[in-house]
Amino acid sequence: EVQLQQSGAELVKPGASVKLSCKTSGYTFSNYYMSWLKQMPGQNIEWIGNIFGGNGGAGYNQKFKGKATLTVDKSSSTAYMDLSSLTSEDSAVYFCARRGNWGYFDYWGQGVMVTVS
């Protein structure tokens, strides 16, 4: 069974950074892209970027360049996202999601709430 388990909720101060994790199981991590997405309360879903589990090659939505940095640890089948210089606009739920062949997301983590205050 494919599972994506995200780390717990974060409360961080403005200007600080936070590192979120997404531990996977049930599939070959190095064969897929992992994406990260942002959802502010009651709002739209935004794609931040994705990273290939095999070689760590990453691509970003222009809007999030400089804000988010994606990495992977193949040995533990875990994806990470660093968010830097946090402001209130970064308060949101962040999801990791496995990217399928045509770009859809077939498996999602449970989401993690990041509060900047």
Partner 1 sequence: DTVLTQSPALAVSPGERVSISCRASEGVNSYMHWYQQKPGQQPKLLIYKASNLASGVPARFSGSGSGTDFTLTIDPVEADDTATYFCQQTWNDPLTFGSGTKLEIK
For binding to partner 1 (CB under 8 A), which residues are involved?
A: 43-47, 61-63, 95, 97, 100, 102-106, 108-111
CB-nearer residue toward partner 1: 12 or 47: 47
CB of 15 to partner 1, least distance (A): 27
One-letter amino acid for residue 89 of the chain: E
Q: What is the DSSP letter of 89?
A: G
93 vs 114: CA distance, rounded Å: 6
CB of 37 to partner 1, least distance (A): 8
CB-nearer residue toward partner 1: 92 or 97: 97
CB of 28 to partner 1, least distance (A): 18
Report which of 111, 91, 116, 117 is spatially closest to residue 8, judged by C-alpha positions. 111
Q: What is the DSSP letter of 14?
A: T
